[in-house]
Structure 1
């Protein structure tokens, strides 16, 4: 019987802090395909601030922690940020279209 190999792509995050009042969230990517075998972890600090028009402004700061001796190219970081931004925009579009999902 032939063997079937399933490759699973995954990411494991650790929640570091969550403050609903200050609208901040910090988490760290500690495992998974996004680390490219070059990065030990990536820490994210996310903050939302209310805007005068009733919306909000989001800020994300990423901190990369490479493995010893690893070289991370700027193109790799740029590609990762573009993928993260695309995911964020997809979630944002869903939530705008479905406000009952978070009410």
Structure 2
């Protein structure tokens, strides 16, 4: 099984604790992305580490669902680790799983900096292409930018 890893570091206008809390939330994805995420359901666990969450995607989208396993949720150090363990994206790209790690810290301007590490775990001898890795990176950045925009428009959320 091949593993492709990429890292990115992006700056956001929203403070790190708000960004972390929004990304760790079970009820915000459907509010932030109402045209994409129908709901988030905790299938196993209490929503924290070890839990499995199912994201149901609106029928018009390409992906019908994705299951995430929460591996770490460190509220003190603002670190979130999870893996996509099931869903259409994995099947389409012949991946066993996709692991994400987000670490938030304050930026000098009052916003935040997020370092993201993503690992694409291919099934068997399948090779992950640079295009797949780039598409995954852009998708994650798009999601986090969407969270940022929602928090900027809703100043009372995740304080």
- TM-score computed with the length of structure 1 as normaliser: 0.85
Q: Could you list the per-position Cα deviations for residues 14-73 of structure 1 after superposition, in whole angstroms to 9, with x for gaps in the alignment?
A: 000011110101001101122125110111111000122221111110011110021221
Runs of 4 or more, structure 1, over 4 Å off, are: none
Instruction: Report which stretch shifted further, 78-87 or 10-19.
Output: 78-87
Query: Unpaired runs of 5+ in structure 2?
Result: 1-58
Query: How many aligned positions are there?
Result: 98
**Corresponding residue for residue 3 of structure 1:** none
Greater radius of gyration (CA): 1
**Corresponding residue for residue 135 of structure 2:** 79
Is the Cα–Cα contact under 8 Å of residues 63 and 88 in structure 2 kept in the other structure? no
**Corresponding residue for residue 16 of structure 1:** 71
**Higher RCO, 1 or 2 (CA under 8 Å, sep at least 6)?**
2
- Counterpart CA distance in 2 for 1:49 and 1:92 is 15
Is the Cα–Cα contact under 8 Å of residues 14 and 29 in structure 1 kept in the other structure? yes
- Counterpart CA distance in 1 for 2:130 and 2:99 is 17
- Structural RMSD (CA): 1.7
- Counterpart CA distance in 2 for 1:82 and 1:51 is 22
Instruction: Report which stretch shifted further, 59-68 or 35-44.
Output: 35-44
- TM-score computed with the length of structure 2 as normaliser: 0.57
Is the Cα–Cα contact under 8 Å of residues 107 and 113 in structure 2 kept in the other structure? yes
- Give the SS at the match of 1:17: strand
